[in-house]
């Protein structure tokens, strides 16, 4: 049986999601905790729906792992063994014989940009950026399928929401970077926005999950504690995270 876990993590403390020798990664921390908690096989290997880059945070990424046949997985025990900047908050069972990326397809990313900005002008910038197409926006090639884009003005800046089923490497950050260049210079020159402003906010899956609200609350508290040491940018993003998760608590 393969377990599904919805996980949240703070990106600035990691060199991305994927395991890298000698570097701290989300995958490495999750696999070690899964092994020690006896939720998974002795040498667990994760499958992930979205492989985020260095500095990128997630509220709702989804991973799959072969569960331990001998004992049920206790999510409280798993989170006890995880560091404070990673948390699992929902659990389910993966459909047999289906790849995780086919089970969990639609993803919504949110990018926060601080400061006084005109949301209408930024919408124009996003349209101009998307007109560049995958050949310009995908670093190293790949597929890009964006279904919806939105801009929301908030007290401390703007939130950009980008939803779709396929995101090639650095696509969201390059869309945002090109839109920023359009706003500043009048043309959507491709550049890559910093990973620290990006949050994977939601992943929709064709599977049922049991949600553990206490684990979400625990993660939110830790986010705010950690953010105090990382400057005002993350403090603002912690407010954004509370806002995005208010319906889950």
Tokens in use for 120?
């209408």
Integer Cα distance of 229 and 31 in angstroms: 27
Mark whether 147 is an active-site residue: no
Name which of 229, 246, 245 is nearest 85 in CA terms. 229
Strand 86-93 with 2-9, pairing: antiparallel
Burial of 208 (0-12, 13-18, 19+ CB in 10 A): exposed
Residues 6+ positions from 243 with CB-CB distance below 8 Å: none
Query: 159: which 2 tokens?
Result: 């939130």
Coil/strand/helix, residue 100: helix
Choosing from 53, 102, 147, 155, the catalytic residue is 53
Residues 6+ apart with CB under 8 A from 86: 7, 8, 9, 10, 26, 29, 30, 33
CA angle 36, 53, 229 (to 5 degrees): 75
Distance of CA 140 to the CA centre of its chain: 21
β-bridge partners, 148: 163
Distance CA 85, CA 80 (A): 12
Q: Which residues are catalytic?
A: 53
């Amino acid at each position: 049986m393969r377990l599904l876990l919805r996980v949240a993590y703070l990106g600035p403390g990691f060199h991305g999601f994927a395991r890298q020798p000698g570097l701290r990664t989300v995958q490495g921390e999750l696999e070690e905790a899964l092994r020690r908690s006896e939720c998974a096989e002795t040498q667990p290997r994760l499958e992930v729906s979205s492989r985020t880059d260095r500095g990128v945070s997630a509220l709702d990424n989804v991973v799959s792992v072969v569960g331990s046949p001998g004992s049920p997985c206790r999510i409280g025990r798993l989170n006890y063994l995880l560091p404070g900047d990673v948390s699992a908050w929902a659990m389910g069972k993966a459909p047999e014989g289906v790849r995780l990326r086919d089970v969990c397809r639609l993803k919504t990313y949110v990018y926060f940009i601080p400061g006084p900005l005109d949301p209408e002008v930024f919408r124009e910038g996003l349209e101009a950026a998307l007109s560049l197409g995958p050949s310009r926006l995908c670093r190293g090639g790949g597929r890009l399928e964006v279904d919806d884009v939105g801009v929301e003005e908030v007290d401390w800046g703007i939130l950009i929401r980008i939803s779709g089923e396929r995101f090639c490497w650095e696509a969201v950050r390059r869309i945002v970077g090109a839109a920023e260049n359009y706003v500043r210079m009048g043309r959507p020159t491709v550049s890559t926005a910093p990973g620290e402003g990006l949050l994977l906010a939601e992943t929709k899956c064709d599977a049922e999950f049991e949600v553990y609200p206490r684990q979400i609350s625990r993660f939110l508290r830790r986010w705010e504690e950690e953010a105090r040491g990382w400057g005002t940018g993350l403090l603002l993003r912690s407010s954004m995270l509370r806002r995005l998760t208010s319906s889950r608590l």
